[in-house]
Amino acid sequence: MAEESKLDRIKRLSKIQTNIRNIATSAHIHHGKTAFTDNLLAAAGLMSEKSAGDLEAGMATWQHADEQERLMTVDAANVSMAHVYQGDDFLINLIDTPGHVDFGGNVTRAMRAIDGTVVLICASEGIMPQTETVLKQALRERVKPVLFINKVDRLIKEMKYTPEQIQKRMADLIIEFNRLLEQIAEPEFKQKWKVNFADGSVSFGSARDNWALSLPYMQKKGVKFADVLKIYELEGEAQHQYVWEKMPLHDVILDMVIKHLPDPAVAQKYRIPKIWKGDLESPLGKSLINCDPAGKVAFVITRILMDLKSGREISAGRLYSGTLKEGMTVYLNGAKQEQRVAQVLMYQGVKTEIIGEVPAGNVLALAGISGNAGETLTEGPDQPFEELKHIFEPVISKAIEPVSPQDLTKLVEVLKKVGKEDPSVKIEINQETGECLLHGMGELHLEIIENRIITEKGVKVKTSPPVVVYRESITKASPEAEGKSPNKHNKLYFKVEPLEPHIRELIKKEELSEGRVKKKDLLMRDTLVDAGWDNDTALSVKDIYKGNILLDATRGIVQLMEAMPLILDGFEQVIDGGPLAREPVIGMKVTLTDAKLHEDTIHRGPSQMHPCVREGIRTAMMLAGPVLFEPLQTHVIEGPQEFTGDLTKLVMNKRGQILDINQEGASVIVKAKLPVGEMLGWSSDLRSATAGRGVSSLADQGFERLPSELQDKITRQIIQRKGLTAGMLGA
Ligand SMILES: Nc1nc2c(ncn2[C@@H]2O[C@H](COP(=O)(O)OP(=O)(O)OP(=O)(O)O)[C@@H](O)[C@H]2O)c(=O)[nH]1
Ligand SMILES: [Mg+2]
């Protein structure tokens, strides 16, 4: 019999749900995710074993030149491979995620596609702020973690630890990891998902040197803890031989992944109720819970790639239910259109291969479909999955323009593609002036995007220096304010007031879902009543948009139902650009108190209703103590102790606030909150303040009121930069 090809094997395994694991790597920047992924690919015969984890030789998952240049992962990379484990064949669909926070949106989206993740921590650096963030991202999607303590070679070679000290260090890291998990996880998983050394849900090793161990594996193979030291008494081929025989990384990791991470059918039972809010008793609901290949199709796009050579659009994602076949027509619930699946692809290593059809429970890719990341594909209109929302928002912007003005149309086209490929960048194109704005997560993010537009998309562009994105909000309740339609036939009355902080928190934590409320939402009512609102107010919510709420307190106005979609449009327009400087609005509760509407729909179309709503809400806002909010970031800064003074000075000079100072060995760890507006050029400032030895990582981000003495100055700056005129501002 002819030997089964690698592709046929993947095809065969894609149908055996119990033998599939959909997983990712999650970690703080540079803790070794890609070296780890390379190791697994090499063992599956999908890349040369010799260069696995060898940075200079190039990581197999790095598809863009900038990743090799900067030696860091930017895009999440999907790979699939088959492994034999204890005589049985398994399909591992793995997503290697980036560690730099600017690319954290890719992590959020990857979590939707998978069920389990290997969290890596560097044995020497330990748990870092970003470890906490990635764990949050995983648990939010009910993705189960296992732990790999990487870079143990550093404890041996650099820190000269004894085996006892190594063991102690690992025990401490496990305790710390579990404490974190207990803090973040939902009650149901707090205990269940703790990792431990004894059962093999923790392993340790060195992805660079291709070895790993876990307790069950050591027992099975008769490897002793002290054998770890022997690795580093050997060199080159002898070392390679030794670890390959006694403790090959892939074998130990597969042991951990296959035993402790769920197959798709097991995972969907508890993941679906969290990420899909439809009726679980409906046919689709049942099929999703059972991961039924014979059920109706439900696929979520988690990543869009434009093929560098052909320019073809590929949509990678997860199939939760049904079977996707080439030629099938599917419905995109976000775009509200039908499209035809031209090809069904699966990954083999880093490449996509045409496969014809794939059943539920797999990570795969489609050609012929053009949607946005987060889109739900079903057979005909159906309940979509919950929105994929990243924990941080873009806070840095740059204006971008083509070097030759005749390239503007091309640039606009390219920007639309860029926005699709990377939903963490927000593209704003002013239709009248042709001005294009890029909003991104940080300076590096925008730099990478700009370079890719030039090198990969072939448009020569220039950009403005980066500026910070502010927010507008209000400080007190307003009296009722009126908005009139241009034809004077319609009048709307609004009140605005600050939204209670605990309600904002509920929206942030997604316990209150954003979106327009079409029919009575009892679940939302209960949540709001529990939070202290009365029943009627809770039932009057019409829209939750970007952290703001619109309530309808009117009674018995005949035409209001009909006019409501236009009123919500107008509300959302105000939220996207407030009265002070057209910056986005946060933390506001708007109440529609009364309405006088023309009987005839002709007199209350969008061109009448939109300005009417905008005028009403913006007038109310101007009477409610409007202020600018600025983005602030909490950073954990680490440097040698002798630089403590320089570090605190640096923070103070940037209007920063020190939250905590701790000493750990020879290092000082400063936790500080800094305004993003003062942080442009932060990495080089930090380097010069600490002779290149300080590092900082982002722990949190939020918006706070800009100090009073800066309100006018910054408002004027934004107005000038945007070229806004008096007539365009205020109400
Ligand atoms: N000493 C040591 N270094 C390692 C080990 N694994 C990875 N590295 C090094 O750590 C650096 C980062 O490795 P990567 O695999 O790119 O880490 P990553 O987590 O994918 O990085 P990002 O994707 O940019 O967050 C490289 O210099 C690797 O050679 C290890 O086990 N031991
Ligand atoms: Mg990487």
Within 13 A of 504's CA, how many CA atoms are on the CB side?
16
- What pLDDT shows up at residue 510? 81
**Residues 128-172 pLDDT 10s:** 989 999 999 999 999 999 999 999 999 999 999 998 999 999 999
Q: Is residue 483 included in any domain, yes or no?
A: yes
d(CA 359, CA 362): 7
pLDDT of residue 56: 57
CA–centroid distance, residue 119 to ligand 2 (Å): 13
**Cα of 96 from ligand 2 centre, angstroms:** 7
Atom of ligand 1 nearest to the CA of 30: 21
pLDDT tens, position by position, 318-368: 999 999 999 999 999 999 999 999 999 999 888 888 999 999 999 999 999
* 414 Cα–ligand 1 center, Å: 33
- How many helices (H) and strands (E) are present in the chain, helices listed first? 24, 33
- Output the domain CATH number for residue 322: 2.40.30.10
Residue 556 lies in a domain: yes
Give the Å distances, CA to CA, from 596 to 409, 478, 496.
Answer: 43, 20, 19
pLDDT at residue number 71: 78
149 and 28 in a common domain: yes
Q: Which portions of the chain are predicted below pLDDT 50? A: none
In this structure, the answer to whether residues 483 and 432 fall within a common structural domain is no
Residues 498, 594: one domain?
A: yes
Note the pLDDT of residue 2.
67
- Statement to judge: residues 130 and 57 lie in one domain: yes
The answer to the question of residue 271 being in a domain is: no
Q: Which atom of ligand 1 is nearest to the CA of 71?
A: 16
What are the b/e assignments for 339-362, b being 16+ CB within 10 Å?
Answer: bebebbbbbbbbebbebebbbbbb
Q: Which of 358, 346, 631, 589 is nearest to 470 (CA)?
A: 631
Domain shared by 295 and 253, yes or no: no
Pocket test for ligand 1, best of 29, 31, 106 (most atoms within 8 A of CB): 31
Can you tell me which atom of ligand 1 is nearest the CA of 100?
A: 25
pLDDT number for residue 530: 96
Cα separation, 130 vs 195, in Å, equals 19
For residue 206, the ligand 1 atom closest to its alpha carbon is 31
| 409 CA → ligand 1 middle, Å | 41
User: Which residue, of 591, 624, 657, is where some domain finishes?
Assistant: 624
Q: Are residues 598 and 666 in the same domain?
A: no
Residues 51 and 164 in one domain: yes
Domain CATH code at residue 673? 3.30.70.240
Give the DSSP H or E segment for 631.
Answer: strand 626-640
**183 shares a domain with 310:** no
On whether the pTM is more than 0.75, the answer is: yes
Overall domain count for the chain: 5
**Phi and psi, residue 674, nearest 5°:** -130, 145
Cβ-proximal residues to 241 (8 Å cutoff; 6+ apart), any chain: none
Element (H, E) at 175: helix 163-184
pLDDT of residue 604: 95
CA distance 635 to 699: 5
- 295 lies in a domain? yes
- Residue pair 457/415 in contact by the 8 Å Cβ criterion: no
Kindly state whether residue 180 falls inside one of the protein's structural domains: yes
Residue 343: predicted pLDDT: 95
CATH code of the domain containing 532: 3.30.230.10
- Give the ligand 1 atom nearest the CA of 207: 31
What pLDDT does 58 receive? 60
Q: Which of 208, 232, 445, 695 to mutate to test the pocket of ligand 1 (most atoms within 8 A of CB)?
A: 208
143 touches 115 (CB < 8 A): yes
Nearest ligand atom owner, CA of 38 = 1
What token pair was written down for 165? 């000290």
Whichever domain contains 185, its CATH number is 3.40.50.300
The Cα–Cα gap between 53 and 40 comes to 10
The reply to whether 184 and 236 lie within a common domain is: yes
CA of 194 to the centre of ligand 2 (A): 25
**Residue whose CB lies within 8 A of the most ligand 1 atoms, among 30, 253, 448, for a mutation test:** 30
Atom of ligand 1 nearest to the CA of 37: 15
Residue 299 lies in a domain: yes
Same domain (yes/no): 564, 677: no
**Candidate of 25, 26, 29, 34 to mutate for ligand 1, largest count of ligand atoms within 8 Å of Cβ:** 34
Rounded distance from Cα 246 to ligand 1 centre (Å): 23
Q: 352 lies in a domain?
A: yes
Query: What's the confidence (pLDDT) of residue 6?
Result: 85
- C-alpha 45 – ligand 2 centre gap (Å): 20
**Is residue 277 within 8 Å of 383, Cβ to Cβ?**
yes
The protein residue with its alpha carbon nearest to ligand 1, atom 27, reads 55
In the DSSP assignment, the letter for residue 203 is E
Closest residue (by CA) to atom 7 of ligand 1?
A: 32
* Domain limit, last residue, from 321, 347, 378: 378
Q: How far is the CA of 212 from the centre of ligand 1 (A)?
A: 15
Q: Which residues line ligand 1 (CB under 6 A)?
A: 27, 29-35, 55, 72-73, 98-100, 150-151, 153-154, 206-208
pLDDT value of position 508:
86
**Residues 53 and 137 occupy one common structural domain:** yes
pLDDT for position 681: 86
Residue 72 makes CB contacts below 8 A (sequence gap 6+) with: 29, 30, 98, 99, 100
Give the distance (Å) from ligand 2 centre to CA of residue 33: 5
Residue 707 counted as domain residue: yes
The Cα–Cα gap between 729 and 731 comes to 6
Q: Are residues 437 and 508 in the same domain?
A: no
Which of 264, 284, 306 is the C-terminal boundary of a domain? 264
Measured CA to CA, the distance from residue 118 to residue 148 in angstroms comes to 6
Domain CATH code at residue 425: 3.30.70.870
Range of the domain at 565: 472-624
Residue-by-residue DSSP string for 233-254: TS-HHHHHHHHHHH-BHHHHHH
